[in-house]
Amino acid sequence: MRAYLDHNATSPMRPEAREAMLAALALSGNASSVHAEGRAARAIVETAREQIAARLDCAPRQLVFTSGGTEANVMALSPAWLGGGGPGRLFISAVEHASVLQGGRFGADQTAKLAVDAEGVVVLETAGQAFAAWHDETGGAPFLASVMLANNETGAIQPVAELAALAHEFGGLFHCDAVQAFGKLPVDAAALGPDLLTISAHKVGGPKGAGALAILRDDLPVATLLNGGGQESGYRAGTENIAAIAGFGAIAEAAPPPWDRIAMLRDRLEADIAAIAPERRVLSGNAPRLANTSLLAVAGMDAETILMGLDLAGVAVSAGSACSSGKVAPSHVLAAMGAAPELGAAAIRVSLGWNTGDEDVERFIAAWKEVYGRFAERRRAA
């Protein structure tokens, strides 16, 4: 048996999602058709919209289904949101997911990064100063800020409610990428206060290829992502992926995994690794974190070698984000945190999920101990 500990990349599908998808696949109708078969398909889409909206505490009409978090982020990061010229500046944190870091439809000269501290958390004072400077320099020209709720590599939780309030204070809009947090934290749109919010299904046991953008302000003249048949209230044309949307809704409605138990497993894992390698670092270990995430590093070790050794021992983890075509590349997140390069080169991400058990953690610890033992021997011999 293998131990799968890469849930932040994608989580194995939960039975609730699979059952909902199989039922949807049995239907033959197009959700845009007016006959009985089409109405049945439409009912699945709208039921899922209601299920997800209930989890977010927003109105169903505010949700636009997309093919995933990346597409929803690109839709959100559009200068056309306010009509006319739109926001002239996009502020993003230095630790965002690649789909936000690349700026969506904003040009490189329109994008500015917000600094983070050594734990990978956006510095509120610095963010407020950046928003205020833009406001003063432009006489109150609109801007958009985008900060994730939880980091995909470190699990660090960002002060989104405070950042959204700061953006609004200086006349800006605020977008939150909540893909990694959805299903792992309470994501209450009203409490967090963003104008736009991105979620996805596959990080918590839903299907790949299902995401949504919540448009939480009714006065935004929204930029159309795809022109065509007018689906999703005209925001995103194309026949809806009924089965994936059904699975998405089922995950939103299902009881959440026992995150308290998962946090205990993560803490046990970190304690056991510390006993084996006292010099190990847990990146963002002093920040509020997702209950399931641990980014571990021992300076001098090589992340790719660790991943290969663990994989051969039947353990699946990753080195940071899973969006780099399978490459193990330097982490922009750790660089932004000011982590030493040797830590960045050694960091592996262990992310637990709904089906993680004691035996998975035990297998990881045993495999990591063996890999670390070989490294320690070479270090002593050097």
Among 323, 329, 335, 340, the active-site one is 323
CB-side exposure of 184: number of CA atoms within 13 Å? 33
Q: Give me the count of residues in the chain.
A: 382
The answer to whether the CB of 82 falls within 8 A of the CB of 221 is yes
Q: Dihedral, CA atoms, 285, 286, 287, 293, nearest 10 degrees?
A: 20
Q: How far is CA 339 from the centre of its chain?
A: 22
Respond yes or no: is residue 323 known to be catalytic: yes
Q: How do the residues of the chain divide into helix, strand and coil, expressed in percent and rounded to 5? A: 40, 15, 45
Residue listed under structure tokens 């109708």? 29
- How many C-beta atoms lie closer than 10 Å to residue 153's C-beta? 26
Phi and psi, residue 225, nearest 5°: -80, -50
DSSP code of 33?
-
By three-state DSSP, how is residue 306 classified? helix
Residue 188's region, left for phi above 0, alpha for psi from -120 to 50, else beta, is beta
**Catalytic residue annotation:** 323
